[in-house]
Amino acid sequence: MTTATPAARPAAEKDSSQVRQKEMIANHFTRLSHAPDTGEKCVYTYVPGNLTELLRAFDVLPVLPEINALQSGMRGKSRDYIMLAEKQGHSEDVCAYVKSDIGMQATGNVGPTGERLPGPDLLLLSYTGCFTFLKWFELLRERYKCPTVMLHVPYQAEGVITDSMRKYVVDQIKEKLIPELERLTGRKYDEDRLKENLARSAKAEDDLVAVLESAKNVPSPIDSWFGGVYYIGPIFTAFRGTQEAVEYYRALRAEVDERVRLGKGPVTPDGDLDKERYRVVVEGPPPWTHFRELWKMFSDEGAVVVASTYTKVGGVYDLGFRHDPSRPLESLADYCMGCYTNLNLPTRVDMIAKYVKDYRADGFMINSVKSCKSFSAGQLMILREVEKRTGKPGGFIESDLVDPRYFSAANVKNRLESYFQMIEQKRAGKEAS
């Protein structure tokens, strides 16, 4: 989700935003690797519900274990990490992100840039839609014997965030998290700094939404899944609320606007896509171990992902949410409860159906991953419902996040080809009638 591996894009096609992002992330990892010497504090936390603005207000650096896991997947390291974790007794059914991380920690905690990551000074869980996150931190707590703050974040069972839900989370931030951060850093909570961070977040969020919505153009200038995971990198991880993020998203938006002006299609592993043949919406995360291979299967068919739910796991900004300096802790609470996998199934169906319509998609595709129950539970119901509402065909492929043993290229390719030909055949049928 964060850095582009050198292999992921051809050098000639690298946009300047890409180069900038790579630098930002490399610098962050270098800073993390020096933290034991500089004395900077590190908090391990997850992408969904991350409270980066608050952490940054305390000058604390975030480390995102699931990002490290997906990076391990992209770099071909996750298989060995997973097998090591399994050797230690983790079952085949345990989330592969967890096992990849456990394996990485057990072999020296060397991160995606080849630098050693610091251990956590604090484990902060601010999202409970994924039960595995909780267990994951229990394992890390065993290993590092460090303080842990686990907030309970209510699920949006009724599809709305009520005042009492919001207050429940705000109270926990005030009573559990802020005192712990004060103790850890020896500083007082400074709400003005938090507000400045939140204001910068909102600016970057505006630009991110403009980038994602550029895919409403035909042809789309971007791919919102394969390309989208690069675009969400900074804002979903360590950079929300920073000036760097504001500048990155401003530059990215300008680049995408230019692509629209030139009528260019998205960048693919083989350069610019010349002909957009299929526009699809994708639900679910990508299989990181075969990211490029799957991307090529799409781009070879001229298939462009025009909207994806995965790029909303760290915030559903396009449906209106913004971090808000005028209600700092409340908007952080809303953020924790508002990320994609914390939405109930009817809301997810509404959202995908809306994407299919708004982005003029030919259909939608679900990548069901074995590891993640938060994503996968209910996906077949979603498939049927969205088909019914939009009249557009749904496709279904199965893989995993970072366990390469669950990716069968022949099987996936077969399903994709069938799916795209099905769209083709439907068009031909429509023309004939």
Partner 1 sequence: MRYVVGIDLGSTTTKAVVLAEDGTPLGRGITNSRSNYDLACQVALTEALIHTRFALVTRALEAQGIEHGRALALIGDLERLFRREQYRGQAAVLARVTGEVVGRFGVEGSRPAAERILAEMDAEADRLFAPGASRKSDFFRDLAGSRWHALAEVEARKTGEGFDVLVALFDKAILEVENTPWGEGTFELFVRAAMKDALGVAAGDAAALERAVADAVSVSLEKIAGVGTGYGRARLPFPKECIRSEILCHGLGAHAMFPNTRTVLDIGGQDTKAIQVDEHGIVTSFQMNDRCAAGCGRYLGYIADEMDLGLHELGPLAQTSSRTVRINSTCTVFAGAELRERISLGEKREDILSGLHRAIILRAMSLLARSGGVHDEFTFTGGVARNPAAVDALRTLVQENYGSLTLNISADSIYTGALGAALFALREAKGHAPAPVAGEVAA
Stretch that binds partner 1, among 28-36, 73-81, 271-279, 342-350 (CB under 8 A): 271-279
Of 40, 255, 276, 293, the residue at the interface with partner 1 (CB under 8 A) is 276
Q: Say whether residue 144 binds partner 1 (CB under 8 A).
A: no
Q: Say whether residue 93 binds partner 1 (CB under 8 A).
A: no
Q: Say whether residue 167 binds partner 1 (CB under 8 A).
A: no
Q: Say whether residue 427 binds partner 1 (CB under 8 A).
A: yes
Q: Say whether residue 193 binds partner 1 (CB under 8 A).
A: no
**Subset of 296-315 contacting partner 1 (CB under 8 A):** 302, 304
Stretch that binds partner 1, among 91-99, 207-215, 245-253, 422-430 (CB under 8 A): 422-430
Q: Which is nearer to partner 1, 159 or 391 (CB)?
A: 391
Q: Minimum Å distance from CB 128 to partner 1? A: 29
Q: Which is nearer to partner 1, 38 or 421 (CB)?
A: 421
Q: Which is nearer to partner 1, 162 or 414 (CB)?
A: 414
* Residue span 206-235 as binding mask against partner 1, x where in contact by CB under 8 A, dash where not: ------------xx----------------
Q: Say whether residue 384 binds partner 1 (CB under 8 A).
A: yes
CA dist., res. 209 & res. 316, Å (int): 9
Q: Say whether residue 425 binds partner 1 (CB under 8 A).
A: yes
Q: Minimum Å distance from CB 99 to partner 1? A: 19
Q: Say whether residue 426 binds partner 1 (CB under 8 A).
A: yes
User: Which residues of the chain form contacts with partner 1 (CB under 8 A)?
Assistant: 218-219, 275-279, 302, 304, 357, 360, 362, 380, 384, 387, 391-394, 396, 398, 406, 408, 410-411, 414-415, 417-418, 421-422, 424-431
